[in-house]
Structure 1
Amino acid sequence: MKKTLAVLILSVQVLSAQNIAQKLDKATKDLMESSGAVSSGLSFYVTDENGTFIYEYQGNKGLSTASTQKIFTAGAALETLGENYTYKTTAGYSGSLSAGIVNGDFIISSNGDPTLGSWRYEAYKPENFKKKLIDALKSSGITKISGNLIIDDSYFDHQTIPGGWPWDDLGNYYGAGIWGTNWRENQFDININGTEFKGFSYPLENVKWLNDLKTGGSSDQSLIFTAPHSEVALINGTLPAGKTVTVSGAVPNPPMQLGAEVQQWLKESGIELSGKITTSSQLELEGKVMPGAPKNIISSYESPTLDKIVYWFLRKSVNLYGEALIKTLGKEKKGNSSFKNGVAYLKDFWKSKGINPNMINFADGSGLSPQNYVAAKAEVQALLYAKKQPWFDVYYDGFPVQDGIKMKSGTMRDTKSFAGYHTAKDGKKYVFSIIINNYQGSGSTELQKILNVLK
C-alpha cells in the first residue's frame, strides 16, 4: 500500500512538472516568434528547489546579463570574506605633535570602503564620520596642522572603472568608479529647472561644466559625462521645461572631494591647516613620495558589515558596491586589486562550485558592462549553491520582490534579465533565470508573462 501511494505521488509530481514545462514552452515560444524578438537571443532555465530540471530554452547560451550578474559577486563575497567583514578608514598624522601643533601631514586612508559617507545606513552617514573625526582631533589636543591634508587612495590600483563600461554610463551615478578612498558613494545630485542649474546636493570640488541641455519631453533624458581625475563635466540630452528635476552624477575625484569637505570641517572647528589638500595619486603625478601610513593613528572608522552591504547591493543594484567587492577579492585573494584579478577570482570561485567556466564569461562585478556573457543555467546553478550555504538568509533577503516574485532584475539597452526564487500557490518552489538580448519590445513585461506561469 505504501509503495503504491509513493508511486502515485511521484506520478502526480511528474505530471505536474510536465504540465508546467509545457506552459513555459508555449509562453517562451510565443515570445520568440513575436516580431520584437526576430533577432533576439534568449536563455532560460528552471529547476525545482532541489535542482531537479523542469524546463530550458537555450539554457547554455551566454548572453549579456545586466545586473543579474550581481548574484555571482554577492555569493562569492559572502563566502570568501564572511558576513561580518568590514572595511576600515583611519586618520592620523606623520611627524610629531607638540603644543597642539602637528609637525607633519594629516592623512586619511581607507581600504576601499564603498559605504564611507553613504546615506543608506542610519549610523554611517557623512555627519557620523565627521563627528568621529573632529572629536578625535579635539581629544588629541590638535589645534593646527602644519603640513598637508592627504587623502590616501592608494589601497587599490589607479584604474577606477572596468574597461568594458560604455562611455555614456561613466558620468552618471550608476557608473561611479571605485577608488581606494570613496565618499558619499561617489555620487552627487543637481537640481535643474529646464536647462538651468539650481543647486547641488553639496559643493562639488574643482568641476567646471559644459551644458548642452535642451528642453523637451516629459521625463529626464539627460546624460552626464565625467571621467576619473577630470575637472570638466558635460551634461546633454533633454529635460522637461518648467519643471525642477534632480539629476545624479558620478564624482570625478572622490578623494579630493572628501579632502575639501574635511578642510571645511577643520575650519569650522577652529583647527588650522597650513598646507594644501592633496591625494596620494596627485603626489605621484607631481613626482613626490607619499609619506606612508601615519604612525600616529587618532581615529579608526569601520563600515557596516558585509551582510548589510550585500543587502543594498542586491536590493538597489548599487554598481559601486560590486566593483568594490571585485577589487577587494582580487586584493585579498590574489594580492592585486586590478579588475582583471578580481574577475579571474570570481570565475575561479564559481568554477570550483561546479559551474562550467565557458558559461560564466565575466567582465566586472556589477553587470554594467555589456561584455559580461553568462548562461541562464549558470545563474540557476549559482542560486542553487547559495541555497545550501549558511549565508543564504542574508543573500536571499537582498533579493527584491517584483511582480510577486523574489528575484534580482537586470536592465540595459535592449537587455532584460531576471533570476531568483519563487514559491507557487500550490507550494512548489522554483529556481530560475531568464535573459533576453536585442529585444525590440517591452522586455520586462514579456519576461514577466513567462514567469507568471510559475505562480
Structure 2
Amino acid sequence: MKQKTTLITIFSLVIILAIILFFHTEEPPAKAVQPRGELSAEINKLLTSEPILDGALAGVSIRSAEDGKLLYEHIGNTRLQPASVLKLFTGAAALSVLGEDYRFTTEVLADGKMNGGTIEGDLFLSGMGDPTLLPADFDEMAKRLKSKGINKVAGDLVADDSWYDDVRYSEDLTWNDEHQYYGSQVSALTASPDEDYDAGTVIVNILPGKKGKAANISLEPETDYVKIINETKTVDSEGEHDVKIEREHGSNSIIISGTIPAGAQKAREWVAVWEPALYAGSLFKKSLEDHGIKVVGKIKTGHAADTMAKLISHSSMPLSELMIPFMKLSNNGHAEVLVKEMGRVVRGGGSWEKGLEAMTSELSRLGIDSKTLVLRDGSGISHANLIPANEITKLLFMAQKEAWFPVFQRSLPVPGVKDRMIGGTMRNRLKEANLKDRVAAKTGTLTGVSTLAGYVETSSGNTLIFSIMLNNLLDDREGRKVEDQIVKILARY
C-alpha cells in the first residue's frame, strides 16, 4: 500500500510538472524584481547621487541574454521617450516583415512609342521607396537607356512617387526640423548626395572667400534644383566662425548667412530639399543630358500607368546592407521609409498609419506587449513616442531567436571604433581598451532625452541586455555620461 501511495505521489508530481511546462512560454518574465546584490547597489547609488539626474526620470532595465530573466529594473514598466532607440523596434519589425534580402526598385517607363531614337511621349521615373539612390545610379540608368538607342524624349520627364502617400512629414515633426537632414521629406522617389544615404538632401560646402567678401559656396551634387542666397562674409582669421543655414518653408531657397574666418577649413552641412521627387527627377534629367539624351519637355510629377512600357529597372542594396547606415548612423529617413514600406506590403497602403499598424502587429508576434507602446513614427524623432525600458530589453532578448538576428546585431554601433560604418554613433564613446568588442548598442537623443540600449559582455564572459532611458534632462548630452557609467558597471559584473 505504501509503495502504491508513493507511485501515486510521483505520478501526480509528473502531471503537475507537465502542466507547468505546457503553459510555460519562451517570453521572458516581465514582472519587476527588487534590486539586489552588488549590481543593483552600484546602479542605485549612481542614479540617486548623480546631479545630472536631479528632476529627471531614469528608466533602466537589465536582463540576462541567456534566459531573459530580469536582473534589475528602475521604473522599468514606466513609458518614457525612447528617441532613436525606437529604431531597434523599426529595424526588427522590418527584418521580420520584409526579410533581410528585401530590395527597393526604381523603374523607368515610356508613355509613347519609340520612333527612331526618340520617345514620342513622356518618360517616367517611378520610385518605390529606395532611399539609397545616388547621382551615380542615375548616370547608370541613363547609360542603359542610351544603349537602347534612345537619344531624345519628346515629352516631359515625369517623377512618380505614388508608391507611398503624399504625406511628407510625420505628424509631430516641427518646422524647425524641416530643413535639417534628419527631418527630410519622406517620398517613394528621392535621392541621396553621398553614401551616408541621407535621402532628400544636398550637401552645402562653405569655404572662406577674400577678406570682406562672401564665402565660396558649392553643392554636392551639383544641381540647380536649389537656389543659394549667399549672405555670408569672410572676416579676419581671428574672427568668429558663425554660419547659419536655413531653407525657406515651401521652397528650395537656401539662405546662408553669418561670418567665416579667413583660412578656416571647409564647413559641410546637409540640407533637406522641398519635394524630393522633383529633386530626383532633376538629377536624372542631368544624367540623361550628360549621356546625350535630350528631354524636350519639363520635369513634373505624375502617376505611371500599368500599361506603360518598362524600359529598365534598378534595384537597391538588400535590407541586410541598408541596416548598416540606417542603424549605425541613426538615419531617420530610412526608418520612416521602412515603416511606409511595411504598410504598403502588409496593409496595402504606404502611409504612416498603415505602416505603424503593420509594425505593431509584427512586434506583438515577436513577443512585445504592444499595449504598452505609443508609436507615432519609426525614427523616434517625435516626443510623443513612449516605450517602457523593460519592453526594450525584452525585444533585444526575443530578437536573438530570429534567423535575421546576425544582421540586426551587426547593425548596432560599436563603441570606440573610428570607422563610421562600424562605430557609428558610438565611435567616440567607451573607448577604454578593456571594453573593446564587448558592447553593441543603439543611441538616442532628443532635446532633454538621452537613451542607450544593447548588449554588453561581462567580465565573466556572459552577455547582459540593457536599456537606459533618461528623460527630462536639462542637458541631454550630459546623459551620455550616466549611460556610459552604467555600461561600465555591467561590464565589470
Equivalent-residue separation in structure 2 for 1:394 and 1:70 (angstroms): 14
- Superposition deviation, residue 37 in structure 1: 2.3
- Is the contact made by 1:379 and 1:419 (CA closer than 8 Å) also made in structure 2? yes
Aligned residue number for residue 449 of structure 1: 485
Aligned residue number for residue 431 of structure 1: 465
Aligned residue number for residue 368 of structure 2: 355
Secondary structure (helix, strand or coil) at the match of 1:44 reads strand
- Superposition deviation, residue 139 in structure 1: 2.6
Equivalent-residue separation in structure 2 for 1:207 and 1:391 (angstroms): 40
1:75-94 equivalences in 2 (<5 Å): 75-94=92-111
Say if 2:282 is the partner of 1:260.
Answer: yes
Aligned CA distance change for structure 1 residues 52 and 341 (closer, same or farther; 3 Å)? same
* TM-score in terms of structure 2 length: 0.79
**Deviations 1:167-219 (CA, angstroms, capped at 9, x unpaired):** 22221112112101011121211122467352111234443456677999977
Tell me the amino acid that sits aligned with residue 346 of structure 1.
M
- Is the contact made by 1:134 and 1:266 (CA closer than 8 Å) also made in structure 2? yes
Aligned residue number for residue 10 of structure 1: none
Aligned CA distance change for structure 1 residues 400 and 390 (closer, same or farther; 3 Å)? same
- Is the contact made by 2:63 and 2:466 (CA closer than 8 Å) also made in structure 1? yes
Aligned residue number for residue 113 of structure 1: 130
Larger radius of gyration: 2
Equivalent-residue separation in structure 2 for 1:86 and 1:220 (angstroms): 42
Say if 2:311 is the partner of 1:311.
Answer: no
**Deviations 1:396-436 (CA, angstroms, capped at 9, x unpaired):** 00111122421111112121100000111111210010010
Secondary structure (helix, strand or coil) at the match of 2:204 reads strand
Equivalent-residue separation in structure 2 for 1:220 and 1:374 (angstroms): 38
- Superposition deviation, residue 376 in structure 1: 0.8
- Superposition deviation, residue 267 in structure 1: 2.3
Greater relative contact order (Cα < 8 A, sep 6+): 1
1:20-419 equivalences in 2 (<5 Å): 20-31=39-50, 34=51, 36-49=52-65, 50-117=67-134, 126-131=135-140, 133-184=141-192, 185-193=199-207, 196-209=215-228, 222=244, 224-225=246-247, 227=249, 230-234=251-255, 243=264, 244-280=266-302, 290=303, 292-293=305-306, 295-402=308-415, 403=430, 404=435, 405-419=439-453
- Is the contact made by 1:170 and 1:176 (CA closer than 8 Å) also made in structure 2? yes
- Is the contact made by 1:411 and 1:417 (CA closer than 8 Å) also made in structure 2? yes
Equivalent-residue separation in structure 1 for 2:281 and 2:247 (angstroms): 23
Pick which of 232-241 and 315-324 moved more. 232-241
Equivalent-residue separation in structure 2 for 1:238 and 1:55 (angstroms): 51
- Is the contact made by 2:96 and 2:362 (CA closer than 8 Å) also made in structure 1? no
Unaligned stretches of 5+ residues in structure 2? 1-34, 193-198, 209-213, 416-429
Aligned residue number for residue 420 of structure 1: 454
Equivalent-residue separation in structure 2 for 1:297 and 1:397 (angstroms): 37
- Superposition deviation, residue 350 in structure 1: 1.7
Tell me the amino acid that sits aligned with residue 152 of structure 1.
D
Equivalent-residue separation in structure 2 for 1:28 and 1:136 (angstroms): 60
Aligned CA distance change for structure 1 residues 304 and 24 (closer, same or farther; 3 Å)? same
RMSD: 2.5
Equivalent-residue separation in structure 2 for 1:219 and 1:66 (angstroms): 30
* TM-score in terms of structure 1 length: 0.85
Aligned residues: 419
Aligned residue number for residue 287 of structure 1: none
Unaligned stretches of 5+ residues in structure 1? 1-15, 118-125, 281-289
- Is the contact made by 2:63 and 2:71 (CA closer than 8 Å) also made in structure 1? yes
- Is the contact made by 1:226 and 1:250 (CA closer than 8 Å) also made in structure 2? no
**Deviations 1:350-407 (CA, angstroms, capped at 9, x unpaired):** 2333323343211111111122111111111111111111110000001111224211
Aligned CA distance change for structure 1 residues 219 and 413 (closer, same or farther; 3 Å)? farther
- Superposition deviation, residue 48 in structure 1: 0.7
Tell me the amino acid that sits aligned with residue 324 of structure 1.
V
Equivalent-residue separation in structure 2 for 1:238 and 1:388 (angstroms): 54
- Is the contact made by 2:367 and 2:398 (CA closer than 8 Å) also made in structure 1? no
Counting aligned pairs with the same residue, the percent is 29
Tell me the amino acid that sits aligned with residue 98 of structure 2.
L
